[in-house]
Amino acid sequence: MRADRLVAALLLLQARGRVTAAELATELETSVATARRDLESLSAAGIPVYPQPGRGGGWSLVGGARTDLSGLNAAETRALFLLLGRAGTATPELTSALRKLVRALPATFRADAQAAAQAVVSDPAGWGEADREHAVPHESLQAAVVRQVKVRLAYSGQERLVDPLGLVDKDGIWYLIADTPAGRRTFRVDRVTEAVITDLPAERPEDFDLAAEWSRTVAQMERRRSLVTAEVLIDATFVPVLRSHFGRHCEVVAEEPGGRVRARVAAHMPRAIAEQLAGWGAMVEVVEPGAVRDELARIGRELTERYAQS
């Protein structure tokens, strides 16, 4: 897992003071290119890791070899833990590694580090949307979650004062989960036009679990998005492409003769499913329901009438 590698790379830098990408690749059993990207990610996140070119060069952690993280300042510490949070979902191994890192920090930085580690959840499964822009979360939103202060949001033409609880990266689409006077809400970050940090302390439930809250949010969203299901037959080779179209709303239910599989896809209406499948032509066969087959037939007739003469 990438987050585990980033932790291991930082600890190796602390122990040795300087490593080359090739040495790191050998230690972590990855390619040299992957090791170099990991080192660049640490540097880009604000960790004081810099390359030194030339013979005897490599990557160094500024301040020399250390056995703890006391050389990091508060901003660098938050950057590290936010980076690890974005890198992927928390495994037991990553949780253990983060706990060890927290213990190695100066006492004054620990609270911020723990808050940053819990500030972001990564959900790699997409909604099935195509050709969308990947919005980057406002830095002020990240800072507000870590500092646990209220934020004044300009969102969908309205101004709201919210208690930010956490950020979620869902396959490049970012969401803010926050408490409001009207209850808990999920805000899509690319629709936030302004985010102003206040000095007012935010209220955060002691038992709040960002990953669990996001799972409940996704379940609610998907119930609204997937009111219609259809079963289709498709060559097993193209299942990954079908999944890229429908995101979580695609599952293989059975293997069929001839190298095909039966898959179940879903959307909010028959027409939406048909529109997704129309471009596949005869590569996909819709078994049921009839409503989706009818919509595909309608699309086919419209295309034939429009382009038959040409």
Is residue 127 one of the residues assigned to a domain?
no
Q: Encoding tokens for residue 207?
A: 């038992």
Instruction: Return d(Cα 301, Cα 299) in angstroms, integer.
Output: 5
Ramachandran angles phi, psi of 39, nearest 5°: -65, -40
78 and 113 belong to one structural domain: yes
Q: Encoding tokens for residue 149?
A: 């202060």
231 and 207 belong to one structural domain: no
Instruction: Return d(Cα 292, Cα 274) in angstroms, integer.
Output: 6
- Highest averaged pLDDT of the listed ranges 64-78, 221-235, 274-288: 274-288
**Residue 295's CB: how many other CB atoms inside 10 A?**
21
Number of domains, the chain: 3
40 and 103 belong to one structural domain: yes
Of the chain, the percentage scoring pLDDT greater than 90 comes to: 21
Asked if pLDDT for residue 161 goes beyond 90, the answer is yes
Give pTM, 2 decimals. 0.46
Task: Please indicate whether residue 179 or residue 49 has the higher confidence score (pLDDT).
Answer: 179
204 and 236 belong to one structural domain: no
Instruction: Return d(Cα 98, Cα 84) in angstroms, integer.
Output: 9
89 and 22 belong to one structural domain: yes
252 and 284 belong to one structural domain: yes
Q: Encoding tokens for residue 295?
A: 């919509």
Is residue 133 one of the residues assigned to a domain?
no
15 and 109 belong to one structural domain: yes
29 and 108 belong to one structural domain: yes
Element housing 286 (H / E): strand 284-288
252 and 288 belong to one structural domain: yes
Is residue 218 one of the residues assigned to a domain?
no
b/e 28-44 (16+ beta carbons within 10 angstroms → b): bebeeebbbebbebbee
191 and 242 belong to one structural domain: no
pLDDT band at 277 (very low <50, low <70, confident <90, very high): very high
Is residue 219 one of the residues assigned to a domain?
no
Q: Which CATH number goes with the domain that contains 180?
A: 2.30.30
Peptide bond into 51 cis (omega under 30): no
73 and 173 belong to one structural domain: no
At 34 the pLDDT is 87
DSSP per-residue string spanning 110-177: HHHHHHHHTSEEEE----S--S---PPPPHHHHHHHHHTEEEEEEETTEEEEEEEEEEEEETTEEEEE
237 and 295 belong to one structural domain: yes
Whole domain around residue 65: which residue ranges? Answer: 2-117
pLDDT band at 66 (very low <50, low <70, confident <90, very high): very low
Of the chain, the percentage scoring pLDDT greater than 70 comes to: 68
Is residue 220 one of the residues assigned to a domain?
no
The shares of helix, strand and coil residues in the chain, as percent rounded to the nearest 5, are 50, 25, 25
Asked if pLDDT for residue 183 goes beyond 80, the answer is yes
pLDDT band at 264 (very low <50, low <70, confident <90, very high): very high
Task: Please indicate whether residue 90 or residue 57 has the higher confidence score (pLDDT).
Answer: 57
Long-range interactions of 23-31: CB distance < 8 A, separation 24+: 23/58, 24/59, 30/5
Mean pLDDT, residues 264-293 = 90
